Amino acid sequence: MATKSKTQRDPRREVLRELGDRIRLLRRKRGLTQEDLAEALDLSVAYVSLIERGGRNPPFTTVVAIAQALGVGTSSLCGD
């Protein structure tokens, strides 16, 4: 199986990376640590870290919970 170059990245993974970047940015703007966010969501810090790095595809209900914990609408996390 051939490996993909950086220019041939899976677009689904890019979407997850963008979601994670938005979550990280908003979390930091609010002065929260990953631990703070994880505690508010009743998730592990490791899972929050994976989401922020684009390593997990969280269920929509988790995305909604993250948005609520950050005080934003889901469109702020998912929108363009």
pLDDT band at 79 (very low <50, low <70, confident <90, very high): confident
Residue-wise pLDDT for 13-69, tens only, equals 999 999 999 999 999 999 999 999 999 999 999 999 999 999 999 999 999 999 999
Distance CA 35, CA 14 (A): 25
Neighbours of 59 (CB within 10 A): 9
Q: Which residue has the higher pLDDT, 37 or 7?
A: 37
Domain ranges of the chain: 11-78
Tokens of 52: 């922020």
CATH number for the domain formed by residue range(s) 11-78: 1.10.260.40
The model's pTM is 0.86
pLDDT for 12: 86
